[in-house]
Structure 1
């Protein structure tokens, strides 16, 4: 047996001993590591010694490290400087307090070292933090504004009245639009509306019979006969205890104000002297380019409403005070960059705010509701936003923006009553007193519960300036439920004016390098466009006679869709499918919803053949509400291993917010429709109410006020210095989502 050799024998006999032959490992020149603390000294030294290779390597190193670290960006540097200055000020204050305590001969109470030094609950001057933070949430119909410390916001109509030769009622066709005014009322609104309305009425009768409700065969005849034969009752003005307080104007027309904002604008008589015309700068969540022919005038009216609301509602009458105030501005989930950047620029430069912060609507709603994961369904006056929120972030592919809301229900309700021969046949929503009356009637009579639907006799009082009050007695039957049922059958709504003047006054944002539109868009929203082109032809506008320059860019071999680059997976000329139609996982753990909607379409299978860009520009994004919610949740859940858990979590956290969501029994009816469309999860689907009995209309504003009171942990503030140096590029660093 051979004995074990020693370590020394192995080195000598086996040739394992390391020897040095003084040869280099390589003939390439070796460059020593540079001093990381001083690049430029080494560069100059290399130039001075003629070492071009060292110079080139140093320049390459500097370029490779440029803006690769957070502390190299202006936004982060300013935040660090602000924190450093705050710590210095706190240290000076502590030293001063210690010296004062020693001088007075009293012990100084040291602060707890475990507490965060940055957490201070007071503003400068000892004021409560948030008392100098404005929260602004604009809408198509109302503006909600207030301080972060306010319990509830001030609500101001988003309208301005300006001197004009004619009022909007005298200069526009009546709304709802009459197509055949000389014919009977059943033909006023065209054959398409009559067909949709009669189909909905028949489906409603079937549903009531299924629910064991009593259905009279002649209910519609009772309504039309009463309404067509009952005249109004005249009430003298001195006998009317609820007469309207109209906005008083000076006797001398030359002394009348040039403009009036908010509630007072809606109370100016249509026949006033001088005449005033109402303008709504925001319509359907967009700039109102249909009523404006000049961009400067559109922006002037928009910012004038904000300025007057800050002065009148918040008492900040002098602009010099505004430089001490910060502003949290709420933007839509699917926003337009041109609009957002213009507002930030105006806030920082003309309004003079100290700083501005942005937050998206659905994220603000989650802050207000105090939930971590939910599907937010925000039904406003003229748009409906649907987005899924998880862990303080909006899931980008789930964002949906539909162009219908509470105003469509108002117009639909009036159209249905006129169809049934309402005895006030001159109803015109372009007249101010009729518009306010229609909003009151909708709030009183519309419902989503068929339990108490029957032929009922009701009354309303028509109060017009300079006229005696007229009391109308009328009957309604199923109009009170069929009008809001348009949320689930949007083909009943009038979409003819929703794209009027689109991108004719304010151009859309485009990428600087590629020229493609760079406004955010989601896969769920693309599925909505595809659905409209397949199922709702009335929401697709006809092409213009002379096509304008489209935003799609053609190359010799390929044609782009005009979509963001990350959504253009293939660039060939064949029709491409939208990525919204994601297939179900192979293991089948996440089933897709099935069932049929009111139109007979498959509610779960969203066929997505993406149309061309010019068709998208002419398409009004609408979809039945329950299908849109399931579409959003599907794209939020995805197809990964966590998809089933996320799907169940979001289905159980559907929350309806917004002013139009206050329609009685809307949540219960929506839950029923969702379960019918997605029968695989009957128990998981829940439509939850807003917590703590908060008003759904102000929940977004409330959440933004919570966000605005976050101290030192909120790095989203944009200051004047940052915006002056970087412009809109600063939003890439400041937004808490992908800008």
Structure 2
């Protein structure tokens, strides 16, 4: 009989005894749980823990150390210590990639860029005025822009049926709608002139039409033309021809060149040109090439690696798109290699350049009009307006009106480069908003084309010079048919990183303009009726618990969770709870999807309304109900941009505003920038003034090192405006 065995013996015989020598199963250290009653952290609670704040302080500290070291070295060598010694080219760089040098080098190493739809203004901080370069690039192509679409001209002519040739009926070229609007505007102008006690002669239109119809041009040989144009030379061998031209050289390429070149304008109506491009990278590449050639030809910076020693103030629109800003920043820092970049809004730069602390800036550009109220060095967010019309629409309308009145050069085609330059010259020379110039005047111009003799044309004008600019106040006369073509086709909309909702900034004034342009909200006394909104979309309204209560009874609604459906009952809509049979089921709404649909609907509406109504809407949103501030803005309306150089437009706009707001007649004042400053370069000058300020207290500079680490997330801390 076997005796009873102990437990230790059983473990040893069964192989269950522990023989691992008390070794741990893993060498990974075991972290004990913290005591949640007594713990404290300083993570992201101090400014020096942010790279965006810490890097400028470290740079300033390094600069002070460098200056002290240079001063000690100068004292030891017996050199002057007043800081007059020049900074060497191969000076040391800080962590951000910028040069640490004396403050005197800031202006000479400062680049100011103002990009427009038609022109690029670029210059150094030491320049009094910027250089103007057309924002265009010409690339090798199988056909030029005037040969596309079967050679269809611009402005577009209608094809007439019948035996009568189209050249004999200029009144029918642009359709009945344009003809009726043109005749209506002529009648309204005559009525207005009679009310202002101005003499209106009868049969003036017939005099102009008969003269333009029968006057032939004079032919001038090339050697007798003292103002002949130097066209861009193309090598005889097409294989040796450059791949692209930029700026003025691109506009002076002969139409029949071998090989053919096509013009590309990467910016249209203040945004990326998605209509003429099929690839997003090609847009970015063209912009980069235009900048690079401007640096070489206008600033003398021949090597891109030298740009690491430069700072750049880049002027962006007031109501910008995030994709546009981040793309431009990526081009400047990563593609071109600029050391530091600062972003500045157009209206704020204009107030800097003009020296105004409180003003309403109306920037009439080539293809967009920007309106914004500036108060104490900040753009008022809800007052920003961006209208998709400008001086280019005036040029096209002026040519259409002249062709309607039998312009002697009936073959004018704005797609041809020399005709485009001629049209811009005629508009700037003859268009005016002064009623005193509305009379029959004899004019002349020279037509210069490559490979042709110069022709001198004689013509007469009457009211076309004023009615074309009147399109700012009656934009239906403009051709707006292709402005939204290709929108959001290749450049996506910026969305939030977390929920995917659109996050481009909006303003109450712009939303009111879109509502009025879509026809949902009519104009009231010349101003737009503001939609009932409680907050800017960029700042969502706070959650209100009372909104969930019924308006008629103060009892809460029934529970959202309905009764479970019987088995086998089809329920295709999983977001709709199954409620009672006699009660309407509640439908869950996706706020992100609603924002996306709302943004898509806004993109389908072209924001174009009369200029005076847009200004009144911007002023109303900028004043925020304060009468004193509204009167201050009325007295500081400043017109800038190329379109503001039209004679008499300021006085005419001032008269229109006084007619719409008679109670503020004494306060309303519309004028150009002070000191007879060129209104086209006010924004650029303001950026130059801002860039020359001391950078020690300016935290808005984005360096290469910071951008490589954080990317566009830096803009939340670096921008002086709400990003």
- For Structure 1 versus Structure 2, the TM-score category normalised by the shorter chain is 0.7 to 0.9
Aligned to 1:718: 702
**1:633 positional shift:** 0.8
Mark the CA change 1:225 to 1:692 in structure 2 (over 3 Å): closer, same or farther. same
Q: Give CA deviations for 1:290-347 in whole Å, capped at 9, x if unaligned.
A: 0000111111111101111101111101112111111111100011111211221222
Q: Distance in 2 between matches of 1:378 and 1:632?
A: 13
The one of 130, 141, 163 equivalent to 2:107 is: 130
**1:567 positional shift:** 6.8
Aligned to 1:623: 609
Taking only aligned residues, the RMSD between alpha carbons, in angstroms, comes to: 2.6
Q: Distance in 2 between matches of 1:452 and 1:156?
A: 32
User: Comparing both chains, which one has the higher relative contact order based on Cα–Cα distances under 8 Å and sequence gaps of 6 or more?
Assistant: 2
TM-score calculated relative to the size of structure 2? 0.80
Q: Give CA deviations for 1:155-175 in whole Å, capped at 9, x if unaligned.
A: 100011111111100114311
**1:373 positional shift:** 0.5
Q: 1:86 aligned to 2:67?
A: no
Q: How does 1:117-516 map to 2 (within 5 A)?
A: 124=101, 127-172=104-149, 173-181=152-160, 184-516=169-501
Q: Distance in 2 between matches of 1:471 and 1:84?
A: 66
Aligned to 1:575: none
Mark the CA change 1:217 to 1:367 in structure 2 (over 3 Å): closer, same or farther. same
Q: Give CA deviations for 1:632-689 in whole Å, capped at 9, x if unaligned.
A: 01001003xxx11211111100000011110011111111111111111111000122
Aligned residues: 609
Mark the CA change 1:568 to 1:478 in structure 2 (over 3 Å): closer, same or farther. farther
**1:58 positional shift:** 4.9
- Provide the secondary structure at the position in 2 that maps to 1:260: strand
Aligned to 1:649: 632
**1:396 positional shift:** 0.4
Mark the CA change 1:210 to 1:620 in structure 2 (over 3 Å): closer, same or farther. same
Aligned to 1:10: none
Q: 1:674 aligned to 2:651?
A: no
**1:217 positional shift:** 2.4
Aligned to 2:680: 697
**1:123 positional shift:** 7.4
Q: How does 1:47-126 map to 2 (within 5 A)?
A: 55-59=35-39, 61-62=40-41, 65-96=42-73, 124=101
- Provide the secondary structure at the position in 1 that maps to 2:263: strand
**1:72 positional shift:** 2.2
**1:245 positional shift:** 1.3
After the TM superposition, list the runs of 4 or more consecutive aligned residues in structure 1 that deviate by more than 4 angstroms: 93-101, 561-565, 567-572
**1:562 positional shift:** 12
Whether contact under 8 Å (2:515, 2:521) holds in the other structure is no
Q: 1:566 aligned to 2:540?
A: yes
Mark the CA change 1:314 to 1:235 in structure 2 (over 3 Å): closer, same or farther. same
Mark the CA change 1:464 to 1:416 in structure 2 (over 3 Å): closer, same or farther. same
Whether contact under 8 Å (1:459, 1:472) holds in the other structure is yes
**1:613 positional shift:** 4.0
Of stretches 517-526 and 338-347 in structure 1, the one that deviates more from structure 2 is 338-347
Q: Distance in 1 between matches of 2:332 and 2:50?
A: 23
Of stretches 222-231 and 728-737 in structure 1, the one that deviates more from structure 2 is 222-231
- Provide the secondary structure at the position in 1 that maps to 2:519: helix
**1:565 positional shift:** 5.9
Q: Give CA deviations for 1:475-523 in whole Å, capped at 9, x if unaligned.
A: 1110000011111111111111111111101111011222221111110
**1:180 positional shift:** 3.9
Aligned to 1:608: none
Q: How does 1:719-738 map to 2 (within 5 A)?
A: 719-738=703-722
Whether contact under 8 Å (1:138, 1:144) holds in the other structure is yes
Q: Distance in 2 between matches of 1:414 and 1:68?
A: 62
The one of 636, 641, 647 equivalent to 2:622 is: 636
TM-score calculated relative to the size of structure 1? 0.79
**1:258 positional shift:** 0.8
Mark the CA change 1:535 to 1:208 in structure 2 (over 3 Å): closer, same or farther. farther
- Provide the secondary structure at the position in 1 that maps to 2:514: helix
Whether contact under 8 Å (1:378, 1:385) holds in the other structure is yes
- Provide the secondary structure at the position in 1 that maps to 2:343: strand
**1:95 positional shift:** 4.6
Q: Distance in 2 between matches of 1:157 and 1:70?
A: 43
Whether contact under 8 Å (1:380, 1:405) holds in the other structure is yes
Q: Distance in 2 between matches of 1:644 and 1:397?
A: 17
Q: Distance in 2 between matches of 1:284 and 1:251?
A: 37
Mark the CA change 1:570 to 1:198 in structure 2 (over 3 Å): closer, same or farther. farther
Mark the CA change 1:536 to 1:109 in structure 2 (over 3 Å): closer, same or farther. closer
**1:86 positional shift:** 2.7
- Provide the secondary structure at the position in 2 that maps to 1:566: coil
Q: Distance in 2 between matches of 1:494 and 1:470?
A: 29
Q: How does 1:23-42 map to 2 (within 5 A)?
A: none
Aligned to 2:589: none
Whether contact under 8 Å (1:723, 1:730) holds in the other structure is yes
**1:85 positional shift:** 2.2
Aligned to 1:590: none
Mark the CA change 1:570 to 1:313 in structure 2 (over 3 Å): closer, same or farther. farther
Mark the CA change 1:430 to 1:58 in structure 2 (over 3 Å): closer, same or farther. farther
Aligned to 1:595: none
Whether contact under 8 Å (1:266, 1:432) holds in the other structure is yes
